[in-house]
């Protein structure tokens, strides 16, 4: 088989698998609380206000994130209408681009076609990467743009005649990343490249005319939106965007439970499943052989270390923040797995790690069976669960067969395809589990069966507020006795005292609401002798209530 034909075949397989892993069935589950509806609602309100530059939420300018993701969401809504599929379309597309970028990156790093193919397969089958490819966050788009900037640099670094093009594309991708999630879009790739060049003693590589023009192009792409926002909103934008959403997240934990030294280590290992054990060993090999093939391992070490340290020392930690290092983990893991499979003396190591992974799968099967027995009342029928368990048992048997036969390639593919098993069952169980993650069903039921007063508010628990807004387009007030506003405050009534809540109830009777169970206790205290409330329906973890004077 010719090299060109082999390349085409591998790219085609990566494209087809990426479609099934990232995009197929994306519209089955409605947009979830609280983040997916946050981004989608901003894009909806930008269209409502005919704005392509100012993000809006609750009919007020919102300064939490830059503009690029909202442009993609609006484009998706224009192409496919407002739906969960259209909102998730471009994150899935970027995830696919990331897989192809890793394939070409591996060819540059390792100069081996099969390693490139295997690295792409590792990335596209990693559980965390799949999850973010199928949800609406800034992180997938941001991480792929970081990947493209580093790929562009290394292309120019490895091939002298491509130096100029590589540096220019580095700055173009970094500019788009800066329009996706802020200054880190340049800080992360710039630090990775700088540390790498210092370690290989080639820092002069970036001191050239291409870097000068790259900076000019970066400023031309990234700066205009920031200049526009500062000119139009001045201190309000500066304080919210630069202080509250960037600096404050460094010094203060938005989610205190995540602020531990091991949080990102567990995220990295769990997120790369089913390759977690392979990733751990591959990291040792990266550190042991840093100068391998054009300093490829050293570049990956710089990439992983810089990204990890940047987010590790910030007190606000979320699993999605370290996604930019996952392509590097996939590259190192793909290189390691291929070497193990290709070298007879190292095949035993590959099979040992595969057996350990197989036992983890067996443990997961036990967890599924236990959870089914304990939470069976959440399902209208257990048939899909029995189907899932049957698929799992069959898959475990097939994987064990290939392990015993020592068929390395078959073992690799059986591990890779594991994540398709639970995905195959989601279309059959989404109506049972979706109400616990999304407000679509409660909102649709309420709008169909009740007539909320058009001039009033929907009273919501904080976690349902964005979803209720997205699916009803009504005004929202939050019942939040003794609790603070959001980390980035929303411009809606935040009823932090009982008297504030009563005042709203007096102004707009009757009031409908979507509340979680714990909020019903607050509501009982608020209503007192002046009001009464009725639970109209319980859907998932949301209680539809009606409050009116006695």
In this structure, is residue 348 part of a structural domain?
A: no
In this structure, is residue 256 part of a structural domain?
A: yes
412 and 543 belong to one structural domain? no
Question: Residue 185 pLDDT > 60, yes or no?
Answer: yes
Question: Residue 89 pLDDT > 90, yes or no?
Answer: yes
444 and 412 belong to one structural domain? no
Q: How far apart are CA 320 and CA 424, in angstroms?
A: 24
pLDDT band, very low/low/confident/very high, at 386 (cuts 50, 70, 90): confident
What one-character-per-residue DSSP string does 134-147 give? TS--HHHHHHHHHH
Between 424-433, 508-517, 525-534, the lowest mean confidence (pLDDT) is in 424-433
Residue 137's nearest CA partner among 83, 92, 178, 100 is: 92
Q: What is the mean pLDDT of residues 175-188?
A: 97
423 and 504 belong to one structural domain? no
Last residue of a domain, one of 311, 342, 373: 342
423 and 449 belong to one structural domain? no
Between 250-254, 331-335, 535-539, the lowest mean confidence (pLDDT) is in 250-254
What's the domain count of the chain?
3
Last residue of a domain, one of 434, 455, 488: 434
Residue 396's nearest CA partner among 426, 372, 364 is: 364
Q: Write out pLDDT tens, residues 412-460.
A: 999 998 888 888 777 777 788 888 999 999 999 988 888 766 668 999 9
Question: Residue 260 pLDDT > 60, yes or no?
Answer: yes
Residue 296's nearest CA partner among 102, 106, 156, 103 is: 106
Question: Residue 12 pLDDT > 90, yes or no?
Answer: yes
Q: How far apart are CA 93 and CA 14, in angstroms?
A: 13
What pLDDT sits at residue 273?
93
Please give the residue that has the higher pLDDT: either 377 or 55: 55
407 and 461 belong to one structural domain? no
Q: Where are any strands of DSSP class E within 381-530?
A: 457-460, 475-479, 494-495, 511-515
pLDDT band, very low/low/confident/very high, at 5 (cuts 50, 70, 90): low
In this structure, is residue 32 part of a structural domain?
A: yes
Question: Residue 401 pLDDT > 60, yes or no?
Answer: yes
What one-character-per-residue DSSP string does 105-128 give? HHHHHH--HHHHHHHHHHHHT-HH
Q: What is the mean pLDDT of residues 494-504?
A: 89
**Cis amide prior to 510 (ω within 30 degrees):** yes
Last residue of a domain, one of 408, 434, 460: 434
Q: Write out pLDDT tens, residues 203-251.
A: 999 999 999 999 999 999 999 999 999 999 999 999 999 999 989 999 9
Handedness of CA 220, 222, 225, 226 (dihedral sign): negative
444 and 430 belong to one structural domain? no
Q: What is the mean pLDDT of residues 72-81?
A: 97
Neighbouring CB atoms inside 10 A of 527's CB total: 20
Count H helices, E strands: the chain?
23, 8
In this structure, is residue 72 part of a structural domain?
A: yes
Q: Write out pLDDT tens, residues 302-350.
A: 999 999 999 999 999 999 999 999 999 999 999 999 999 988 878 899 9
Quote the percentage of the chain above a pLDDT of 70. 97
Q: What is the mean pLDDT of residues 156-183?
A: 96
428 and 447 belong to one structural domain? no
Q: What is the mean pLDDT of residues 377-390?
A: 79
What pLDDT sits at residue 105?
97
Q: Write out pLDDT tens, residues 22-60.
A: 999 899 999 999 999 999 999 999 999 999 999 999 999
273 and 394 belong to one structural domain? no
What pLDDT sits at residue 190?
97
- The overall average pLDDT reported for the chain is 91
Question: Residue 1 pLDDT > 60, yes or no?
Answer: no
In this structure, is residue 452 part of a structural domain?
A: yes
In this structure, is residue 354 part of a structural domain?
A: no
364 and 289 belong to one structural domain? no
What pLDDT sits at residue 528?
87
Q: How far apart are CA 195 and CA 301, in angstroms?
A: 10
Please give the residue that has the higher pLDDT: either 344 or 86: 86
Domain around 248 = 3-342
Neighbouring CB atoms inside 10 A of 84's CB total: 22
What pLDDT sits at residue 453?
64
């Amino acid at each position: 088989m010719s090299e060109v034909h082999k390349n085409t075949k591998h790219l085609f397989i990566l494209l087809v698998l990426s479609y099934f892993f990232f995009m197929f069935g994306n519209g089955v589950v409605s947009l979830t609380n609280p983040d997916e509806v946050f981004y989608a609602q901003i894009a909806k309100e930008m269209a409502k206000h005919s704005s392509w530059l100012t993000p809006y939420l609750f009919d007020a300018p919102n300064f939490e994130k830059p503009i690029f993701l909202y442009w993609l969401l609006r484009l998706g809504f224009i192409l496919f209408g407002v739906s969960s599929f259209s909102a998730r379309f471009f994150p899935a597309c970027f995830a696919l681009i990331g897989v192809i970028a890793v394939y070409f990156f591996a060819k540059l790093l390792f100069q081996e076609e099969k390693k490139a193919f295997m690295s792409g397969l590792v990335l596209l089958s990693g559980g965390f990467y799949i999850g973010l490819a199928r949800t609406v966050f800034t992180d997938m788009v941001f991480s792929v743009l970081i990947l493209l900037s580093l790929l562009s640099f290394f292309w120019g670094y490895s091939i002298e005649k491509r130096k100029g093009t590589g540096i220019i594309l580095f700055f173009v991708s970094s500019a788009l990343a800066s329009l996706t999630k802020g200054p880190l879009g340049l800080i992360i790739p710039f630090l990775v490249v700088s540390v790498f060049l210092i370690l290989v003693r080639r820092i002069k590589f970036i001191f050239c005319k291409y870097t000068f023009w790259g900076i000019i192009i970066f400023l031309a792409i990234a700066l205009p939106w920031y200049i526009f926002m500062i000119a139009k909103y001045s201190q309000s934008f500066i304080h919210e965007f630069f202080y509250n959403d960037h600096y404050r997240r460094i010094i203060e934990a938005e989610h205190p439970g995540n602020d531990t030294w091991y949080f990102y280590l567990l995220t990295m290992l769990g997120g790369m499943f089913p390759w977690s054990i392979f990733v751990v060993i591959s990291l040792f090999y990266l550190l042991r052989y840093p100068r391998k093939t054009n300093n490829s391992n050293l570049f990956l070490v710089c990439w992983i270390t810089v990204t990890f340290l940047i987010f590790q020392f910030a007190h606000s930690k979320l699993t999605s923040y370290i996604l930019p290092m996952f392509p590097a983990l996939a590259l190192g893991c793909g290189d390691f797995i291929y070497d193990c499979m290709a070298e007879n003396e190292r095949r035993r190591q590959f099979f040992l790690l595969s057996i350990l992974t197989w036992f983890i799968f067996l443990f997961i099967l036990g967890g599924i069976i236990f959870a089914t027995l304990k939470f069976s009342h959440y399902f209208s029928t257990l048939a899909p669960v029995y189907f899932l368990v049957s698929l799992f048992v069959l898959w475990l048997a097939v994987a064990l067969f290939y392990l015993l036969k020592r068929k390395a390639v078959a073992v690799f593919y059986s591990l890779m395809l594991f994540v398709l098993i639970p995905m195959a069952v989601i279309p059959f169980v989404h109506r049972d589990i979706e109400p616990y993650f999304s407000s679509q069903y409660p909102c649709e039921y309420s709008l169909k069966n009740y007539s909320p007063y058009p001039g009033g508010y929907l009273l919501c628990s904080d976690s349902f507020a964005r979803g209720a807004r997205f699916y009803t387009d009504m005004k929202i007030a939050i019942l939040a006795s003794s609790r603070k506003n959001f980390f980035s405050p929303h411009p809606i009534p935040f009823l932090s005292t009982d008297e504030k809540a009563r005042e709203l109830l007096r102004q707009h009777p009757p009031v409908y609401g979507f509340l979680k169970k714990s909020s019903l206790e607050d509501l009982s205290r608020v209503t007192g002798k002046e009001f009464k409330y009725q639970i109209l329906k319980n859907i998932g973890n949301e209680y539809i209530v009606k409050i009116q004077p006695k």
